[in-house]
């Protein structure tokens, strides 16, 4: 049975997207059923849009939830299956840590420790991969991931972008740092790990109220429980101080959030059944 999707009323916001309709999907974290319900609703809304239609994944598709492999296979599906004209895939901090662990290079040991720890939840993904290849002792490696996920998923994982700019908006996993040059901040490659602060930032972004040089930021990364101490926002999915957050806490809350954003307005899409 399909999960419910709540569609909020339209809300005004000064987005100027050059006439595009952008659908943004926040952190999924292995929650395939919720993601599927959200994407089905996006497909219906996209069919009604009289404008170029873009889908942006904001990162953190993996870890914590029950079906990361299923999520990645759906995430890798082409535009024609999603009813849009273009798909952009932004990398999250969870993908960064996993890929650094899989690459087996300088940062691999530290990244693997972080990724497989309880806080990050990568051990569930490793178990999924080992089950997929029927080898319970398979080591963490690119070869394991390629066999478990498929080469197309791996190609897309390795070619994700740090951010996507559309009109006056930037779509990025973590956010921007207030009071700094946006281009310089976003220029660090994801291979720099935690130095790629656009994928990790909370403080200095969510508690900043001075704007970002006219750029509006659509982001994931920070679920409601971590959002509140920095913003005191009762609803973390409201456009405020030039930010719109779309991390609903997925694996913890049962909700995957997204948004439909057009020139001058947006509305929030929430898929799933809230957990108490």
The pLDDT score that the predictor gives to residue 106 is 77
- Domains of the chain, residue spans: 5-92+159-272
191-219: pLDDT as tens digits:
999 999 999 999 999 999 999 999 999 99
25-52: pLDDT as tens digits:
999 999 999 999 999 999 999 999 999 9
Mean pLDDT along residues 110-123: 95
In three-state secondary structure terms, 25 is: strand
Question: Above 80 in pLDDT, residue 276?
Answer: no
Backbone torsions φ then ψ of 6, nearest 5 degrees: -90, 130
Question: Above 90 in pLDDT, residue 258?
Answer: yes
Mean pLDDT along residues 85-111: 94
In which residue are the tokens 């959200």 written? 38
How far is the C-alpha of 259 from the C-alpha of 24, rounded, in Å?
5
In which residue are the tokens 């971590």 written? 226
The pLDDT score that the predictor gives to residue 104 is 79
Question: Above 80 in pLDDT, residue 155?
Answer: yes
Q: What is the pTM of this model?
A: 0.97
Question: Above 80 in pLDDT, residue 267?
Answer: yes
Lowest mean pLDDT among 6-15, 99-108, 147-156, 224-233: 99-108
Longest CA span, the chain: 53
Mean pLDDT along residues 60-64: 98
Q: If you average pLDDT over every residue of the chain, what do you get?
A: 97
Give yes or no for a contact between 247 and 222, defined as CB atoms under 8 angstroms apart.
yes
Homologous superfamily (CATH) of 5-92+159-272 is Metallo-dependent phosphatases (3.60.21.10)
Mean pLDDT along residues 134-162: 97
64-82: pLDDT as tens digits:
999 999 999 999 999 999 9
Question: Above 90 in pLDDT, residue 103?
Answer: no
**What sign does the CA torsion over 143, 161, 111, 35 have?**
negative
Give yes or no for a contact between 258 and 37, defined as CB atoms under 8 angstroms apart.
no
For residue 146, the tally of other CB atoms under 10 A from its CB is 18
How far is the C-alpha of 170 from the C-alpha of 38, rounded, in Å?
22
C-alpha to C-alpha distances, 49 to 109, 124, 168, 170, 263, nearest whole angstrom? 47, 38, 20, 21, 12
pLDDT bin (cut points 50, 70, 90) of residue 4 is: very high
Question: Above 90 in pLDDT, residue 178?
Answer: yes
How far is the C-alpha of 123 from the C-alpha of 239, rounded, in Å?
34
């Amino acid at each position: 049975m399909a999960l419910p999707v709540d569609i909020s009323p339209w809300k005004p916001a000064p987005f100027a997207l050059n006439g595009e309709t952008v659908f943004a999907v926040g952190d999924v974290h292995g929650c395939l059923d919720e993601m599927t319900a959200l994407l089905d609703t996006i497909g219906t809304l996209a069919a009604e849009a009289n404008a170029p239609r873009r889908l942006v994944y904001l990162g953190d598709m993996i870890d914590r939830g029950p079906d990361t492999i299923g999520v990645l296979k759906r995430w890798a599906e082409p535009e024609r299956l999603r009813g849009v004209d273009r798909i952009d895939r932004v990398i999250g901090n969870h993908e960064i840590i996993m890929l650094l662990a899989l690459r087996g290079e300088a940062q691999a040991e530290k990244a693997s420790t972080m990724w497989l720890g309880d806080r990050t939840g990568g051990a569930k993904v490793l178990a999924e991969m080992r089950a997929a290849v029927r080898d319970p002792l398979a080591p963490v490696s690119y070869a394991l991931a390629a066999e478990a996920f498929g080469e197309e998923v791996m190609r897309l994982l390795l070619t994700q972008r740090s951010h996507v700019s559309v009109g006056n908006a930037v779509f990025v996993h973590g956010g921007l740092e207030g009071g700094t040059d946006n281009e310089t901040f976003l220029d660090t490659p994801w291979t720099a790990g935690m130095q790629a602060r656009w994928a990790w930032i909370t403080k200095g972004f969510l508690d900043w109220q001075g704007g970002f040089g006219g750029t509006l930021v659509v982001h994931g990364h920070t679920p409601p429980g971590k959002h509140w101490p920095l913003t005191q926002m009762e609803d973390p999915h409201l456009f405020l101080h030039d930010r719109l957050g779309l991390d609903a806490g997925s694996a913890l809350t049962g909700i995957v959030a997204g948004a439909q954003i057009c020139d001058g307005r947006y509305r929030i899409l929430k898929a799933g059944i809230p957990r108490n």
